[in-house]
Amino acid sequence: MRSSRGTTPTTTVGPPRQVMSPRKEETGISIHPIRTGSVFVHERQREGRGHGLMRAARTLTDRNWTPPLPIYAWLIEHPEGLILVDTGETARTATPGYLPRWHPYHRLAVRFDVRPEDEIGPQLTAMGVRPNDVRWVVLTHLHTDHAGGLHHFPESTILVRRTEYEAAQGFAGRLRGYLPHRWPTWFRPRFLTFGPTPVGPAGCAEA
């Protein structure tokens, strides 16, 4: 795998090999959850009712907020290199104008509590890991609470589903809540394509 700069090759993902034990001494793998701040959302987002526009309207008009919910990234120590799943949020969400005020969700239905030291870069450094030593960054999706820390990993190979990347593009992507204009200018991910066989307990496969 190469750096995320340059062209956008494709990686195909098949069923994972079975890991019989989570203990590092047996598998060579260990997983570290890293909290990159907190998010507050409306209760009706966490336990939504209805579908489509009605569900969205109920979420936006809800006046009840959740307690602080953790925003996690996951560092995986693997024999082939360090893997980071998601990059968490950025403290820049506290900067006026970073989140688009014209978007009703960002204006009415979400609040972030992220300090600069909560970002994934400083957190890894505190663990004795240099961000440039992360070989792969796997983005489960591209909303800001998963991709907000991308700027810490210019030398890593970034992996994301092609369909997710395309859904986040342009003004249509911004309407869906993505912030593509906040991505680093060097961001050129390697695209993941899932095969027809489900992967993992959630049964993820390419539609």
Hey, how many other C-beta atoms are within 10 angstroms of the C-beta on 44?
21
In sequence order, the β-bridge partners of residue 113 are 38
**54-58, 156-160, 162-166: lowest mean pLDDT where?**
54-58
H/E stretch holding 173:
helix 170-175
The mean pLDDT of 83-95, rounded to a whole number, is 98
Q: Distance between CA atoms of 167 and 173, rounded to whole angstroms? A: 6
pLDDT in tens, 160-195: 999 999 999 999 999 999 999 999 999 999 998 877
Mean pLDDT of the chain: 86
In sequence order, the β-bridge partners of residue 164 are none
In sequence order, the β-bridge partners of residue 136 are 83, 157
The mean pLDDT of 83-109, rounded to a whole number, is 96
Pairing, β 134-138 against β 157-161? parallel
Give Cα separations from 37 to 46, 128, 149, 154 (angstroms).
18, 20, 12, 22
pTM as predicted? 0.82
pLDDT greater than 80 at residue 44: yes
User: In which order are the strands placed within the sheet that holds 157-161?
Assistant: 10-13, 190-194, 157-161, 134-138, 81-85, 69-78, 30-41, 110-113
Q: Distance between CA atoms of 84 and 87, rounded to whole angstroms? A: 7
Number of alpha carbons in the 13 Å side-chain half-sphere of residue 10: 8
Residue 38 near residue 88 (C-beta atoms within 8 A):
no
Q: How confident is the model at residue 197 (pLDDT cuts 50, 70, 90)?
A: confident
The domains located in the chain, with CATH, are 28-38+71-104+114-194 (3.60.15.10)
